[in-house]
Amino acid sequence: MAVDTTTSARDLLRRVRQTLDANDRWRARTLNLIASENVLSPAARSVLVSDLLHRYAEGHPGGRYYEGTRFVDEIETLATETMQRIFRAGWADVRPISGTVANEAVFSRIVPQGATVVAHTVAGGGHISHARIGSLGKRTREIRAWPMAPDGYSIDLPAARDLIAREKPALAVFGRSLFLFPEPLRDLRDVCAEAGTRLFFDAAHVLGLVAAGRFQDPLREGVDVMCGSTHKTFFGPQRGLVLARGDDPELVKDLDKGVFPGSSSNHHLFSLPALLVSALEVEAFGGRYADDTVANAQALARALAGRGLAVACAERGYTQSHQVALDAAAFGGGKRASARLSAQDIICNMNLLPGEPARNAVDPRGITLRPPIVTSRGWASRTSPRPSLAPMV
């Protein structure tokens, strides 16, 4: 029996459109507390779809392996210069297509094969790219865990100094996915320098707070390299970023090779204009947005604690970032609690809490609540919708 492929394709295309429309309607009414997401401004969205969707550009502006890239070169150069200005960085690379790809680029060039590295465990808040099963594990199995203070959310400084002095790791990895408080970079940079240890900071979640000067300033506090995701507190399109002070030419050369050809070829040119617009918005409005985001996270934590929920780090004011950690054991654990919330159009994610074994990742004790999107939309306290450059575009 012959199949009417025209009718079948038409039905499938209609289903695609209906599914997207249904998702848009549902998302519009949800309370989204996912840390890895934000929303683009009207100005950034207006430049997201262009002819660059079809184009390819390997290498650097002015030195491509393809012709026809002069307009791409202009956008990429402006984006790079803007990132250098925002972060006061001597060198920046905007080509990675995600924060994890940025990490991969860095680890592939500055971690010798089999070298000792110290990083946060996944249960201690570390990203999976910092683990043996992630990007770092491709370079070495010798990954030591940061010793943690009793609260589980802070590095034990005396024990960390002893670890660095004893192991002399090639790299010290700071920054986390569950990231409530700044890292003690100033406290550990001297012992790292004595041990010949480079400092790396993963700012994936806090990049917007760092850009606004509202969290910590890793490049001034001693790190050699900082990576980040540009779509969380930075509120841009989904891309990655690598930054360095620029005072070490050999390091910059290695990092550049790690980005291309080490971890990417073409780098999704269509989202570069949106990254540039978002970076300009961060530069113009990022301080206000960061203040509102942190204030909303703290207000949420206080409100939940006031209702008797087990919010982490009450003795430290709960959080200094955009994140709130909650022990959901009383509600059946993180998996069950997050599913129940999703059924009520409240989106959050289950999360390992400090002290849990890694095997609990599929059914952890905790959930995390993070308000970057609700802050952007003006749904939470002490904020109005995030400003946009749309009137200027």
For 201, half-sphere exposure in the C-beta direction (CA atoms, 13 angstrom radius) is 28
The stretch 90-116 carries a mean pLDDT of 97
Residues 295 and 249 in one domain: no
Residues 262 and 332 in one domain: no
Q: Write the pLDDT tens digit of every residue in 36-77.
A: 899 999 999 999 999 999 999 999 999 999 899 999 999 999
Residues 270 and 290 in one domain: no
- How many C-beta atoms lie closer than 10 Å to residue 318's C-beta? 22
How many domains, in total, are found in the chain?
2
Q: Which two tokens stand for residue 389?
A: 């450059």
Residues 332 and 194 in one domain: no
Residues 57 and 178 in one domain: yes
For residue 229, what are the β-bridge partners? 240
Q: How far is CA 315 from CA 183, 302, 330, 365, in A?
A: 18, 11, 21, 20
At 5, the pLDDT band (50, 70, 90 cuts) reads: low
Question: CATH no. for residue 264?
Answer: 3.40.640.10
Return the amino acid letter for 85.
Answer: R
Residue 178 has pLDDT above 80, yes or no: yes
What's the first-to-final CA gap in the chain, in angstroms? 55
The stretch 297-310 carries a mean pLDDT of 96
Share in percent of the chain as helix, strand, coil (round to 5) = 45, 15, 40
Residues 116 and 261 in one domain: yes
Of 224, 242, 277, the residue at which a domain comes to its end is: 277
- How many C-beta atoms lie closer than 10 Å to residue 122's C-beta? 23
Residues 152 and 248 in one domain: yes
Strands 366-369 and 349-351: antiparallel
Q: Write the pLDDT tens digit of every residue in 206-250.
A: 999 999 999 999 999 999 999 999 999 999 999 999 999 999 999
Residues 384 and 296 in one domain: yes
Residue 264 has pLDDT above 90, yes or no: no
Q: Which two tokens stand for residue 291?
A: 């203040």
Question: CATH no. for residue 372?
Answer: 3.90.1150.10
Residues 73 and 131 in one domain: yes
The whole domain housing 380 covers: 32-41+286-392
Q: Is the peptide bond before 96 cis (omega within 30 degrees of 0)?
A: no
